[in-house]
Amino acid sequence: MSDIKLENKPDGFEGPGFFATSLDQIVGLARKNSLWPLPFATSCCGIEFMATMASTYDLARFGTERISFSPRQADVLLVMGTIAKKMGPILRQVYEQMAEPKWVIAVGACASSGGIFDTYSVLQGIDRILPVDVYVPGCPPRPEQILDGILRLQDLVHNEPLRRRNSPEYKALLAKYEIE
Ligand code: SF4
């Protein structure tokens, strides 16, 4: 007997031989289960991510096993580690090279807030230079916490309206970061 949990079908209307739902729901379901992460790992939290990818925690269970090291073939930027201010423009360039729709997870205290490195040279959180969708706390976060961050992001992706990326609110968010 299999204990594989199948994805629930979206809300909709069904009858003999048909099922109807909205395009938003179908696209959200597909996007949610086929996220392509780009790991931007600079220090210790990156090692936790490696453990998350390995067989014990097996990130592939959530459809995210296709790791990309090209921003053009990724839709989730996972930032793991201390980001020095000098590295900020590079991180930002990677983000800008990703196509929409794209999402960002700040993994660990350093990426979220600078962590213990309250110094002149360290960026005090990547949300100073790009919008973040999910923050994973911890120094380092355990693989379970990284998995939880992925699941939280899946919820966001599943419920994101197709029009959000063209909305004035989203454009205002990007404008705040001076991203065109
Ligand atoms: S949050 Fe802690 S474990 Fe993660 S990169 Fe920073 S110092 Fe290392």
CB-CB contact of 85 with 123 (8 Å): yes
Instruction: Give residue 171's pLDDT.
Output: 94
Q: Is the pLDDT of residue 5 over 80?
A: no
Q: Which two tokens stand for residue 25?
A: 């729901």
Burial class (CB in 10 A: 0-12, 13-18, 19+), 118: exposed
Assigned domain for 1 exists? no
Q: Which residue puts its alpha carbon closest to atom 8 of ligand 1?
A: 44
Assigned domain for 91 exists? yes
CB-CB contact of 119 with 84 (8 Å): no
| Ligand 1 pocket check for 143: Cβ under 6 Å | no
Assigned domain for 82 exists? yes
| Ligand 1 pocket check for 139: Cβ under 6 Å | yes
pLDDT tens digit string along 10-41?
Answer: 888 889 988 899 898 899 999 999 999 999 99
Domain that holds residue 74: 34-159+166-176
CATH number, domain with residue 75: 3.40.50.12280
| Ligand 1 pocket check for 82: Cβ under 6 Å | yes
Global confidence as pTM: 0.92
CA distances from 167 to 76, 157, 171, 174 (A): 20, 16, 6, 11
Assigned domain for 18 exists? no
For the chain, the domain total comes to 1
What share of the chain has pLDDT > 90, as a percent? Answer: 79
| Ligand 1 pocket check for 141: Cβ under 6 Å | no
CA distances from 46 to 6, 89, 133 (A): 30, 20, 19
Assigned domain for 83 exists? yes
Q: What is the dihedral of CA 24, 26, 27, 32, to 10 degrees?
A: 110
Q: Which residue has the higher pLDDT, 139 or 6?
A: 139
Assigned domain for 6 exists? no
Assigned domain for 8 exists? no
pLDDT tens digit string along 39-96?
Answer: 999 999 999 999 999 999 999 988 888 999 999 999 999 999 999 999 999 999 999 9
Assigned domain for 38 exists? yes
Rounded Cα distance, 4 and 58, in Å: 14
